[in-house]
Amino acid sequence: MPVSQNLSRRERQIMEIIYELGEASAKDVQARLPNAPGYSAIRATMNKLEDKAFLSHREQDLKYIYFPTIEHDQARSTALQRLLKTFFSGSAKQAMSTLLDLSLDEVSDKELKEMQAMINKARKQRQDK
C-alpha cells in the first residue's frame, strides 16, 4: 500500500478515472479529463502516481496500460480518514451532520434505516470487544 500522501487535484482526477475504468492508457485518461492538459503532462502525472505507488503499469501494443495498486475501497477509506481529520477534527458525528444537512431531501427513509442499522452494528461490535 502506498504511503499516505496527499494527491493533487489532477492526481485525484486521474485516479478516479482509472478506478472507474479498471485500467487505462494516458490517452484514455486524457479523453475523460475535464480541461485536459497535453499528453506529456498526463504521462508525467501518471508516472508520479506510479512513483508514489498508487499506480503500476504493463505494456500492451506499444503503450503503457496503468492500473491501481490498491483496492478502491481501501483508497476511499484513506481519503475519508484524511477528510475527517482535515475538515471535521476527526469527528464522524460532525461529518455525518454536515452530510445530512447537505442532502436531507435526497436521503430516503430506507437509507436512514440502513444508516441506523450500521450505527447499531458498530455499537454492538464495540460492546463485544
- Tally Cβ neighbours within 10 Å of residue 97: 12
Decide if 58 contacts 64 (C-beta within 8 A).
Answer: yes
Each residue's pLDDT tens digit, 20-65:
999 999 999 999 999 999 999 999 999 999 999 999 999 999 999 9
- Please check whether residues 16 and 61 belong to one and the same domain: yes
Phi, psi of 107 (to 5 degrees): -90, 120
What letter does residue 7 receive in the DSSP assignment? P
pLDDT at 80 over 90: no
Q: Of all helices (H) and strands (E), which one includes residue 66? A: strand 63-68
Per cent of the chain over pLDDT 90 is 57
Q: Looking at the structure, do residues 12 and 32 belong to the same domain, yes or no?
A: yes
Q: Taking the CB of residue 7, how many other CB atoms lie within 10 A of it? A: 19
Predicted local distance difference test score (pLDDT) of residue 5: 60
Q: Note if the pTM is more than 0.95.
A: no
Residue 107 sits in which domain range? 91-129
pLDDT at position 1: 45
Q: Can you read off the three cell numbers belonging to residue 7?
A: 494527491
Residues 50 and 104 in one domain: no
pLDDT of residue 11: 93
Q: Which three cell numbers stand for residue 75?
A: 483508497
Residue type, 80: L
Are residue 83 and residue 121 in the same domain, yes or no?
no
Together in a domain, 69 and 106? no
Q: Report the Cα–Cα distance between both ends of the chain, in Å, rounded.
A: 28
Same domain, yes or no, for 100 and 77? no
Q: Are 98 and 69 found together in one domain?
A: no
- Copy the grid coordinates of residue 103: 442532502
Q: Quick one: 111 and 123 in the same domain?
A: yes
